[in-house]
């Protein structure tokens, strides 16, 4: 009885560990499709976030680019670099991350978002309302 219980606990622990590892496969640096920016995806608690860590052209008129299209006047003067653009994603299994948002600093809008990991490609789908009304972009892992 003790041996079967121990075997069950070992199998359960291994399954949990494998699930956590696959969920964390999204962690790391990603290049956006245009090659203009890199996003660092990280974890806070059980949720996933991403911040803009590199810009091909980080300055404008000799000063850091700002979040000038943000609808909140108080945030228009914050730098784009290190801006948290992906928020609150939950791993849903099968390499899918849902229930998050993506902020587009090029227009100041925030969209619902779903991400799907396919090897070294991260399919990022931003949408309004339902996923069918959106756009998908492929980010590439930076090694």
In this prediction, residue 2 has a pLDDT band, given cuts at 50, 70 and 90, of: low
Task: Give exposure, 6-17, as e/b (b: 16+ Cβ within 10 Å).
Answer: eeeeeeeeeeee
At 16 the pLDDT is 41
Highest CATH level, class, for 26-142: mainly beta
DSSP state of 125: E
Q: What is residue 11's predicted lDDT score, i.e. its pLDDT?
A: 41
Domain ranges of the chain: 26-142
- Write the pLDDT tens digit of every residue in 64-97: 999 999 999 999 999 999 999 999 999 999 999 9
| pLDDT above 70 coverage of the chain, percent | 85
């Amino acid at each position: 009885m003790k041996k079967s219980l121990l075997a069950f606990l070992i199998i359960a622990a291994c399954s949990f560990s494998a699930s956590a590892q696959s969920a964390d496969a999204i962690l790391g640096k990603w290049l956006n499709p245009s090659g203009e920016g890199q996003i660092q995806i990280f974890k806070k608690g059980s949720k996933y976030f991403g911040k803009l860590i590199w810009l091909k052209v980080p300055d404008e008129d000799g000063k850091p680019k700002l979040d000038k299209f943000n609808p909140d006047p108080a945030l228009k003067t914050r730098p784009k670099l290190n801006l948290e653009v992906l928020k609150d994603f939950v791993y849903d299994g099968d390499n899918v991350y849902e229930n998050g948002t993506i902020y587009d600093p090029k227009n100041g809008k925030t969209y619902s978002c779903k991400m799907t990991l396919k090897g070294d490609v991260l399919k990022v789908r931003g949408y309004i309302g339902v996923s069918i009304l959106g756009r998908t972009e492929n980010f590439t892992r930076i090694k």
